[in-house]
Amino acid sequence: GAVVSQHPSRVICKSGTSVKIECRSLDFQATTMFWYRQFPKKSLMLMATSNEGSKATYEQGVEKDKFLINHASLTLSTLTVTSAHPEDSSFYICSVPTGFTDTQYFGPGTRLTVL
């Protein structure tokens, strides 16, 4: 299956700062990547679909100006949490669907803590 990495694995920041999370597909070129958010002991909530060469598609209720997504290349998507606040603290995970087979492979996740 596809190998997906995320960086950083964990980040602690002060309220009001912006944080960038990278998702890389190491062995598969992905025109689409997904970004999920997961609260403790909860399921995965799809935030947005990252599209290479075009704007991201956001799920209902997700602020696109708050969570900026850039799909810079076929192997890299970034999620920037702008003006982060404590309620943005969460586990953020990206996934890569492997095209024709539609199987999704997840990254290891990024733990964001906003103080």
What is the DSSP annotation of the chain? ---EEEE-SEEEE-TT--EEEEEEESSS--SEEEEEEE-TT--EEEEEEEETTS--EEPTT--TTTEEEEEEETTEEEEEE-S--GGG-EEEEEEEE-GGG--EEE---EEEEE-
If one asks whether residue 26 binds another protein (CB under 8 A), the answer comes out as no
> Residues 35, 97, 112, 114: which binds another protein (CB under 8 A)?
97
If one asks whether residue 111 binds another protein (CB under 8 A), the answer comes out as yes
Minimum CB separation of residue 84 from another protein in Å reads: 20
If one asks whether residue 107 binds another protein (CB under 8 A), the answer comes out as yes
If one asks whether residue 113 binds another protein (CB under 8 A), the answer comes out as no
If one asks whether residue 50 binds another protein (CB under 8 A), the answer comes out as no
